[in-house]
Structure 1
Amino acid sequence: MLNVITVMLVDDHEIVRAGFRRLLDNTDDISVIAEAATGEDAYSLYQEHSPDVVVMDLSMPPGVGGLEAIKRILAVAPEANILVLTVQECEPYPSRVLQAGAKGYLTKRCAPEELIDAVRKVYHGNEYVAPSIQKELDGKKASKLNLLTKRELQVFTQLAGGSSVAQIADSMFISQKTVHVHRSNILTKLELAKTSDLIHMAIRHGIVEA
């Protein structure tokens, strides 16, 4: 009897999830059993459905981002197999995601067959990192973002995605004053003058869409 790999898709774009669901459900040994549009939903739905593999985007609406969702899921289920599928190709996102415990990292430019192969490998306990991402991890493309601490990178990502200071404070369980401190440190380290410069940098790096 064929062993079917159950998958949960996490992406804030419904049309993107629909495409990936169609691709994976058309594979004999893979079945999508849950979908989430936010990090909060991903966390709760994982506990409800216990999928074999989570295919997770990093860019989320204001609130719990992809990286934070990964950490929360792994905190309650260390055995979770999480495969990141995102537009974010530059460091330090890949290394931070893998350090957080994700089993794989793919870009949304990957071929359909590569996603299917990655799901299977992650399910069987192996890591899968796209070749282009491996080049990033090998240090061939340096980025100023490597200067940011883990907390600063979280704040950077949410600011770039349009989250307000209040929303960031709520999602990270810190004060708004602390968010402002992180924002100031981020601008200094990246040699930027204001938040709009930060957003433009994030667009250039493919971290958010224009």
Structure 2
Amino acid sequence: MNGSIKVILVDDHAVVRAGFRMLLSTDDTIDVIAEAERGEQACQLYLEKQPDVMVLDLSLPGIGGLESIRRICSRDSNAKILVFSVHDEAVYVNRAMESGAKGYITKHAHPNILVTAIQKIAQGETYIEQGLMKYEGASPGSGWESRETDYQTIIDSLSAREFDVFLLLAKGLTAHKIADELCLGYKTIANYGTQIRSKLKVSTVAELAHIAIILGIMKQ
């Protein structure tokens, strides 16, 4: 492609964005043209700026990262979004790619990988950090296989926001803390929690955590 690669950075932490910007400024093929800290802002900036690549975290306040990817890609099927997340579980990678992302790397990766991923995606390729798609499930014969199929089907049917709430509940966060993190009302989160437990036919947070673990979404 001609000229520098225009990039928008999306992360809810200003210090993290500053670090990304500093890193990318060392490469003269990349130009950071804008930053966003919320999902809604990312969607708006994408339409306004039309970047070559958007580098986006999944843990965003507002509509969240997955829904942001879905909305942007529904408006522009050629959108090139690279997820840059702390989450290395396969379910996150699958969800992001199914939503329309063109790549996925973790914040634990070597800094050079971010530059390489942006360049590859700008050229029309996909880029998934090596080893991210590996899955280590429960041991055979544990009865996990049949439960996994049922649970996985239900988890796959959750909306992007329901999925976010499910993960935070499974990690032990209270509804009040989740409401603060996602910038949503407490009653909204409580309703999501009720819906999720009903769909999975469980009643406790411990059961949600157990499901997340046997699906490989969360580590023990």
Query: The TM-score by the shorter chain falls in which range?
Result: 0.7 to 0.9
Which residue matches 2:92? 93
* 1:1-210 map, 5 Å: 3-61=3-61, 63-135=62-134, 140-142=135-137, 146-147=152-153, 148-151=155-158, 154-158=161-165, 160=168, 162-164=177-179, 167=184, 180-186=194-200, 188=202, 193-194=204-205, 198=209, 205=218
The one-letter code sitting in structure 2 at the alignment partner of 1:167 is: L
Q: Deviations over 1:129-162 (max 9, x none)?
A: 0112132xxxx32386745124266324235174
Larger radius of gyration: 2
User: Secondary structure in 2 aligned to 1:60?
Assistant: coil
149-158 vs 69-78, greater mean Cα deviation: 149-158
User: How well do the aligned residues superpose, as a CA RMSD in angstroms?
Assistant: 3.4
User: Secondary structure in 1 aligned to 2:204?
Assistant: coil
Q: Deviations over 1:60-90 (max 9, x none)?
A: 12x2010000001111111110000001111
User: Secondary structure in 2 aligned to 1:58?
Assistant: coil
Label 1:72 to 1:153 Cα distance change in 2 as closer, same or farther (>3 A). Answer: closer
Q: Deviations over 1:7-57 (max 9, x none)?
A: 000111110100001111221110100101010100001111111000010
User: Secondary structure in 1 aligned to 2:77?
Assistant: coil
User: Secondary structure in 1 aligned to 2:132?
Assistant: helix
Structure 1 position 193, deviation (Å): 1.4
Q: Distance in 1 between matches of 2:194 and 2:178?
A: 13
Contact 1:10 1:42 in 2 (8 A): yes
Q: Distance in 2 between matches of 1:23 and 1:59?
A: 21
Label 1:187 to 1:169 Cα distance change in 2 as closer, same or farther (>3 A). Answer: farther
Q: Distance in 1 between matches of 2:164 and 2:24?
A: 29
TM-score (norm 1): 0.78
Identity, % of aligned pairs?
A: 36
Q: Distance in 1 between matches of 2:105 and 2:183?
A: 31
Q: Distance in 2 between matches of 1:122 and 1:20?
A: 17
Q: Deviations over 1:182-209 (max 9, x none)?
A: 2433472xxx7138965xx69x937xxx
Label 1:2 to 1:74 Cα distance change in 2 as closer, same or farther (>3 A). Answer: closer
Structure 1 position 170, deviation (Å): 10
